Structure 1
Amino acid sequence: MREVPDYWRIADDVIADVRAKRLKAGDKLPSIAELRQKYEVSHGTVQMSYARLEALRIIRRQQGKGVFVNDPKLWMREP
């Protein structure tokens, strides 16, 4: 069995938190430095996670303000 890359695991954790409503639309995500420390990964790994989440429309970046959760209606399908 292949191991899941760290950037994918971080992104999946964010998605799980949104689905479980621990994160809601408009919530600010932790900084790159905070996630680096939490997951013990490099800056680039966190950047890749955020890039993946942004491509999936789960988050949006606001320069100088941070990274925020998009409204799940934009990307989440009903079960």
Structure 2
Amino acid sequence: MPAMPDYLRISNAIMDDVRSGKLKPGDKLPSIAQLRVRYRVGASTIQQVYIRLEALEVVDRYQGKGVFVTDPSTWLRKP
């Protein structure tokens, strides 16, 4: 079985942090540079993470300001 791509692994980890309450709505995510170091991946991988999270409505990106967690009730599926 092939390993999960880094961008999926990282975006899933961030989503888990939101679900668990470790990251709350309005929290700013670390910069691309900080996440590159933390996960030992390239900048393009972190860009993919941010693109996926934005597409899933987990975050909102604001140029020059950063990437912020949205309200999970807008994207979490109810059981």
Q: Give me the whole-angstrom Cα distance separating, in 2, the residues matched to 1:43 and 1:50.
A: 11
In the TM superposition, residue 17 of structure 1 has moved relative to its aligned partner by 0.1
In the TM superposition, residue 76 of structure 1 has moved relative to its aligned partner by 0.4
Equivalences for residues 31-70 of structure 1 within 5 A? 31-70=31-70
- Aligned letter for 2:21? K
* Residue deviations 1:12-58 (CA, integer Å, cap 9, x gap): 00000001000010000000000000011000000001000000000
1:57 match: secondary structure: coil
In the TM superposition, residue 78 of structure 1 has moved relative to its aligned partner by 2.3
TM-score scaled by length of structure 2 = 0.96
Number of residue-to-residue matches in the alignment = 79
Structure 1 residue 76 and structure 2 residue 69: aligned? no
Which segments of 5 or more consecutive residues in structure 1 lack a partner in the other structure?
Answer: none
1:36 match: secondary structure: helix
- C-alpha RMSD of the superposition: 0.7
- Aligned letter for 1:15? M
Q: Give me the whole-angstrom Cα distance separating, in 1, the residues matched to 2:38 and 2:72.
A: 25
2:67 match: secondary structure: strand
Match of 2:3 in 1: 3
